[in-house]
Amino acid sequence: MKVLFVEGRNLEALRQLARRFPHPYRLLYRAEQELYLLEVWAHAAQMEQAASELEGFRSWSFELLEEGSRQSG
């Protein structure tokens, strides 16, 4: 599964991008840097292309290698 990350300072542009596609997403915010991060799971190639066309944003796509959690004993 691919995971897409898109970083930028314009929250509304990230929301618009996320809502154009049916993929699950999360929006994160780092107040100290006034920076937003969109995280999208199981995205289509069209979304990755649309993210790369956003001016003033950086994007990365990764393949998920593993998921896990630490369960207390």
Instruction: Give the single-character DSSP code of 33.
Output: G
64 three-class SS:
coil
pLDDT category of residue 2 using cuts at 50, 70 and 90: very high
Q: How many angstroms separate the CA atoms of 39 and 4, rounded?
A: 6
Q: Compute and round to an integer the Cα radius of gyration of the chain.
A: 13
Residues 6-21 pLDDT 10s: 999 999 999 999 999 9
Round to the nearest angstrom and report the end-to-end CA distance of the chain. 30
| Domain 2-63 CATH class label | alpha beta
Give the start-to-end residue ranges of the domains of the chain. Answer: 2-63
Q: How many angstroms separate the CA atoms of 31 and 20, rounded?
A: 26
Q: How many angstroms separate the CA atoms of 39 and 48, rounded?
A: 11
Residues 18-67 pLDDT 10s: 999 999 999 999 999 999 999 999 898 999 999 999 999 999 999 999 88
